[in-house]
Amino acid sequence: MNRDTVTEGGLTDHSGPTDHSGPTDHSGPTDHSGPTDHSRSRPAPAPVAEGERTMLRPLTLADGTEFTARARESRELHQPWLFPPADARAYAVWAGRLIGDEDRAGYLVHERATGALAGYVAVNNIVGGAFRCGALGYGAFAGCEGRGLMSEALGLVVAHTMDTLGLHRLEINVQPGNTPSIALARRAGFRLEGFSPDFLFIDGAWRDHERWALTQEMREAAG
């Protein structure tokens, strides 16, 4: 059975014209030859937020080569929790939806000192009206984990989505064994709201998830 695709903290669809639970198609050609080139051939969009060590900018279709190379380099780090797109076809579908759908947004995290692509954050299932909520999925790339970069970046995402996009609530759904992701959610001020057995279909099976959330009131109370 094909894998469903997830990012740390949330579900992401790489599978073509289906919903967030569809199978991944990694059937396109993948080039593993030669050293990885992390350079960009065209100017990147301006950052939406900057911290002391990281900056956050919208992802684009042109980021596919760099992103998929970093995803392949990070497989040992990511699995069994994360399955970000690792070839051009999967990336085009995934990024296209984050860019084109009104209820989603996607951001890349860059280390300011080096310009390296450190990770990514997807905001899925954005709902307006009386709810004003979104679900976060995220992941660090190899060499950038455990250094506090994603902690700062997640704080930038929280500020941007609440202060600029006007969301009131953010959610993160995490498998109980994914302790780094749970620790990141906790450091960002999210609270554990519940446990959902058989919550999402991931890597061939229904997986239990913890449900974490942050509201604007919680953020204000924390200062």
3 state SS of 213? strand
- In angstroms, rounded to a whole number, what is the distance separating the alpha carbons of residues 143 and 17? 33
98, 106 in Cβ contact below 8 A?
A: yes
Structure tokens at 61: 């279709």
3 state SS of 58? strand
168, 132 in Cβ contact below 8 A?
A: yes
Q: Alpha helices of 40-178 — where are they, by DSSP H?
A: 64-73, 75-78, 88-100, 149-159
Q: CA of 121: how far to CAs of 40, 90, 160, in Å?
A: 19, 17, 12
pLDDT at 6 (0 to 100): 39
pLDDT at 179 (0 to 100): 94
pLDDT at 42 (0 to 100): 62
Mean pLDDT, contiguous 10-residue spans, the chain (223 residues): 38 32 34 42 83 97 97 94 95 97 97 96 96 96 95 97 97 96 96 97 94 97 88
pLDDT at 44 (0 to 100): 78
